[in-house]
Amino acid sequence: MLQSILIYKVFKGSEMEQEKYLIGQELIVIFERVLKIEKVVIERETECVLSMAEIHTVAAIGKDTMLRMGEIADALHITLGTLTVMINNLVKKGFVDRYKSEEDRRVVKIGLTKKGRRVYDAHASFHENLVNALVKGADPEQQKTIRMALNNLWDFIQQQE
């Protein structure tokens, strides 16, 4: 159980404040573990060693799409320079290819190779299983409450940017 791995400090306050404190501690543990486990699961399923940044770049490109560098950078909220380094590494490792546009030869699009699509599939499967575990046993109303809480968390993150 999650609570058994958390270190509790002496906490004085109302029951609601204690619950909010525990939720905060649990979120920290969950975020850290999801990133670690996600990488391990994808490596195990694909026999490919990639950083989480590389895995998320593959996911942003998409399985059956070819995108311009700017589109990928925007999706990942990173600079074109950072993305260029990432794409160069993924090309060298055989996960993505560059394609010149037929309409405009100056435009270069990025797409996944077969190896990249395997990583994409493993990543998508991990996230599907993660969501299934999150909503397991929740009725439709409870799932709406989960979505509301996630939207509140997203709004907070957006405000911090």
pTM for the complete prediction? Answer: 0.82
Q: Is the dihedral of CA 49, 91, 125, 59 positive or negative?
A: positive
- Residue 134 pLDDT exceeds 90: yes
- Residue 107 pLDDT exceeds 80: yes
**Contacts (Cβ under 8 Å, ≥6 apart) of 43:** 49, 50
Predicted pLDDT of residue 4: 47
Specify whether the CB–CB gap between 120 and 112 falls below 8 A.
yes
Q: Is the dihedral of CA 21, 25, 26, 28 positive or negative?
A: positive
pLDDT tens, residue by residue, 4-39: 455 555 556 677 777 888 888 888 889 899 989 999
